[in-house]
Structure 1
């Protein structure tokens, strides 16, 4: 997450809205193989599939905080480029999600146009796994910063993945071997802008509820707006949604469907969405920075432990790319059921 200084220039997060209780786990303790921290990660990834990772006090973490501060400034400039410039780099979904996604291209649960845009930078191009994607000069001039942030983020992802594998009784490299950064994948850095909501008509969902396809997501926010669905509840229940309060120096971490698949449902991917920001924060455009990690394209999606996940493609015989295409096509055709997957039963949380 960004440093304390970026939180000084935004309206305060209100005290009168429901917030999601989340584990706060120290990266320093996790990287030192602290037993308690390792168990906390496992509990968080079975209960909610989300936790806050405190980067402060760790050398790598402090470096990432500085990179996030710099990239928030760069990201705002990128997403505030003229539309005719950004539209030269449009994505080609579902064939490719790299590049610019304009506001209103997707729909919300009420079939209204979405209220966000993003720019996706592919890991493969940044790390030389494939030819670089076409990029605006503004991004190209900061390639070294994006690449450094990605590499440091992948180190953090590796730490989390190794911890979870060990907690599940698997070899420590079980998950890291399936998402190696030097092999082609759908992993991206995503810069997101959710637009301010000054009018009553804007007080609605910006991005529809969903679970992430991939393995692990690292998210940096300053403004609120991210909401998590309570386990065991339906997305149509307004009371079941609560806000995540961003914390200085902390990344928001969540698991995706691939980790649920590999773990046979022992780990959890939880439904979430972007809503309007709470309180006076709704008057300000909301910028986010994320690393969305996916398995390498040829990784097997075979279950490694646990039992088949009800309602999920088993993955037997499928590569990660084939598995992701099936999920993307189901989503595009409206056949996908947006529900949380895996983890502990709601009654046991």
Structure 2
């Protein structure tokens, strides 16, 4: 039997005849209640074919020889390839790092050239396609940020979007993710990386930036969120009513910085990726499995580095009584500790890549 799941709203952001302000208010209500929302009908921003092509590129990238990927090892700018157990999203409770590989793409030049090392196995046309997809993701995020501003009654409504200029330095990252099948992990020659009871594929965490776009493939299980009641619940790839869509709806979640800006009105919800039924405590969703490798694509949208995390000029935010700590239950980063977007990102990266920062005795 399928587990009870949180009823995360599905919002058509381009429905004909729908008032934009109604869409904006629905997005705000979903973000305030869950911190997550499904969006559909994004074809004018990102097409189903673009998403499919991005997943094809991701498979090809992770299939590159290990020597090629190691030439692109992740650096303190949060760009590059990270191998199994490199990243530890929940360092307070994880025995080993996450059971995944990731490739982070920073900005590209206007001519779609990468500004970071990439495997030589990627053709120039493939690099350009990744750059175009990253740009499309940012454009969609700017649209969502404008809607959040409108839904909160901010004057002007582009208060958030104006702080996310794509041509200025920021922590925005397009990330391809690959989680090997559990059977492949268990057969690994390294006993330290064999799965133990209670372990997860990616540790419990909140996202660092403003908004996150998550693209998933049908049938691939694993994502769970921490509900207000303190329970872990799965988030289906295809919620009811979207099974026949050209591609699964995009899942959008609120990051720490948008929660800071709104004093916790918009929730930065803790989430994780489990082994789903293989001793991790994960719950099953009918039609989803973790028996195969899991791929996902994420776009983390960040404001420009020097953005001051000052209070948003919104009556609804001013009247919100919950505050950061209450709204973001279970999130150790709910307390406001920094002044700028760049300071927050460095704080989070240092905790996630502790070995990288410790090896040269430096801090973020």
CA distance in 1, matches of 2:335, 2:39: 29
CA distance in 1, matches of 2:18, 2:73: 42
* 1:91 and 2:90 correspond: no
CA distance in 2, matches of 1:273, 1:244: 10
Q: Please, which of 11, 19, 23 is the counterpart of residue 9 of structure 2?
A: 23
> Does the aligned pair in 2 maintain the 1:193–1:287 contact within 8 Å?
yes
* Corresponding residue for residue 344 of structure 1: none
Aligned-CA RMSD value: 2.7
> Does the aligned pair in 2 maintain the 1:196–1:276 contact within 8 Å?
no
* 1:141 and 2:156 correspond: no
* Corresponding residue for residue 249 of structure 1: 248
Distance 1:145 1:174, change over 3 A: same
* Corresponding residue for residue 325 of structure 1: 346
Give 1:331 shift.
Answer: 5.6
> Does the aligned pair in 1 maintain the 2:23–2:147 contact within 8 Å?
no
* Corresponding residue for residue 202 of structure 2: 207
Distance 1:83 1:130, change over 3 A: closer
* Corresponding residue for residue 241 of structure 2: none
Answer 1 or 2: which has greater helix percent. 1
* 1:39 and 2:39 correspond: no
* 1:116 and 2:105 correspond: no
> Does the aligned pair in 2 maintain the 1:260–1:266 contact within 8 Å?
yes
> Does the aligned pair in 1 maintain the 2:176–2:296 contact within 8 Å?
yes
Report how many aligned residue pairs link the two structures: 306
CA distance in 1, matches of 2:173, 2:272: 19
CA shift digits 1:293-323 (9 cap, x unpaired): 11111211222244663452254xx332123
TM (norm. structure 2) is 0.76
> Does the aligned pair in 2 maintain the 1:205–1:274 contact within 8 Å?
yes
* Corresponding residue for residue 290 of structure 1: 298
Query: Structure 1 regions of 5+ residues with no counterpart?
Result: 1-14, 234-239, 335-349
Distance 1:249 1:333, change over 3 A: closer
Give 1:64 shift.
Answer: 2.5
* Corresponding residue for residue 171 of structure 2: 186
Distance 1:265 1:130, change over 3 A: farther
Give 1:244 shift.
Answer: 1.1
Query: Structure 2 regions of 5+ residues with no counterpart?
Result: 187-193, 239-246, 278-283, 326-333, 356-364
TM (norm. structure 1) is 0.79
**Local SS of the residue matching 2:204:** strand
CA shift digits 1:202-244 (9 cap, x unpaired): 67301110000101111101112111111141xxxxxx11111
